[in-house]
Amino acid sequence: MENFAACCSLLGGFILSFGVFSLLIKEKLYIAESAVATIYGMICKVGLKYFGMGELVESHLSNSTFIFHFAHMVMSLQLVAVAVTVPKTFFRKNWLSIATLLLPVMAIMFGISTLIVKYVCGFGWPVAMIAGACVTPTDPILASAVLKGRFANKYIPSRLRHLLAIESGSNDGLGFPLLTLPIFLMKHTDKPGGVLSAFKDWFYCTWLFEILVAVVIGVLIGLFARALLKYSLKQHWIDKESFLVYALALAVLVTGVTALIGSDDLLAVFVAGLAFAWDDDMVQDIKDSHIMEVVDLIFNHAFFIIFGAILPMEIFNLKHMSAAFLIILFRRLPGVYLMRMLGLLPGLGLKETFFAGWFGPIGVAAIFFGYHAQHVLGERFHAVTNDIIKCVYAIVFLSIIIHGTTAPVIHLHLRRRQKKGKKEIDVYGSDTEAERDLETPHLQQIV
């Protein structure tokens, strides 16, 4: 009972106190809420131990099964929220840029991350590949904090925002094959024809079953949910409250169905959200209600507070911090710049390319992948997967702090002024502030 009361007090206290200053922190200081929540969680850990409640952190919140499933649900809710916000016409007009970020750029990110972990942390190749796969995807929760709000609406073109949102939503599911390949290699190490057998299982189990089946399930459930909702609206059967939580229920349903059959539920959830939101007019009321943002806020705050509270102190060493810093610095920028030089990212200027290359935060998805690897590999590789999770925790922590606090520096670098008579407006690439005001009039009124 004391543990429950402590959790409610700490979470409620943070949401209230942070909410009072949220506009100042996020829109004036440009500090992400995930960074504030993580630091708050670290402070709470010290306080709980001081008052003799350290068991709450060490035994309950640190439970790997709890963290795995909590991260799972946070990811599912955020992926649907991302899918609903992207206009359907964007895919047709920007398919080359989307494919470039999800295929060659992602492969380069995986290779660079694996090499850094291998030679800095001293892991073997399969273990380094697992750690590299964990930190390859761009986290949709942390990315959304950068792609929404006053900074994003004022200085980041809508095209770049949508492009990064689609990437962060889809590369978690598409990054799954990068994780399962080294897992199969480790599991088939002692078997005859181990490497060939591992690649066969990887192709059949991952690509044909987990990926293909996930896409089919996501499309079917998303289209069926959309048709059902449209018919219900036409017949006046659904009330306002049920309508507003419909997309959230869709995320929970798809997560449950695909998890039961063992398919890639993250990809299925995102695809289902895209299929459901293909009718822009129908989901506009859901977007305008901001119900998904409210639910995301509560879950995200809770997750990062817990992350800060359970953060192991042994990750703060030269090896882990060096690997984390090198990955954040070199994991994404080289691939994005190379693809721009090859003409595969049309429409991105140098400043936009820098922004797209720098802001690839690592967060909840990496933690989820790490615990998934531990669950699949089992007790036989428990010590190895523990080392992977510690490495992932270090990278996620540094990414939260760096990506969550460097927005002012990026803002000053990217901002340039263009004078029109006596009026001075901020310009980023080809978008003007006036054009962005037209895109988000309600947000501009609130700000």
DSSP 373-388: HHHHH-GGGHHHHHHH
pLDDT band per the 50, 70, 90 thresholds, residue 1: low
DSSP label at residue 29: S
Pairing mode of beta strands 416-420, 431-432: unpaired
C-alpha dist (Å) from residue 409 to 29, 405, 406, 447:
11, 9, 5, 21
Instruction: Provide mean pLDDT across the span 184-211.
Output: 88
Residue 328 confidence (pLDDT): 96
Note the pLDDT tens digit of each residue in 166-180: 999 999 888 999 999
Instruction: Provide mean pLDDT across the span 255-281.
Output: 89
Provide CB contacts within 8 A for 81, sequence distance 6+: 144, 247, 273, 292, 293, 296
Higher pLDDT, 154 or 209: 209
Instruction: Provide mean pLDDT across the span 8-34.
Output: 88
Q: Element (H or E) spanning 326, and its range? A: helix 318-330
Residue 258 confidence (pLDDT): 94
Residue 139 confidence (pLDDT): 93
Rounded Cα gap, residues 144 and 361, in angstroms: 10
Nearest to 207 by CA among 233, 239, 184, 231: 184
Note the pLDDT tens digit of each residue in 379-388: 889 999 999 9
Q: Which of the residue ranges 82-91, 137-146, 401-410 has the most confident prediction, judged by mean pLDDT? A: 137-146
Give the pTM.
Answer: 0.90
Note the pLDDT tens digit of each residue in 272-328: 999 998 866 666 766 666 777 888 889 999 999 999 999 999 999 999 999 999 999
Residue 109 confidence (pLDDT): 98
Note the pLDDT tens digit of each residue in 392-434: 999 999 999 998 887 656 655 655 533 343 343 333 444 433 3
Structural domains for the chain: 65-446 (1.20.1530.20)
Structure-block tokens of residue 81:
């929220």
Lowest mean pLDDT among 86-100, 188-202, 301-315, 351-365: 188-202
Nearest to 346 by CA among 97, 101, 93, 92: 97
Lowest mean pLDDT among 130-144, 180-194, 260-274, 308-322: 180-194
- Sheet with 416-420: list strands edge to edge: 416-420, 423-428, 431-432
Higher pLDDT, 442 or 235: 235
User: Is 447 a residue whose pLDDT tops 60?
Assistant: no
Residue 412 confidence (pLDDT): 56
Residue 158 confidence (pLDDT): 85
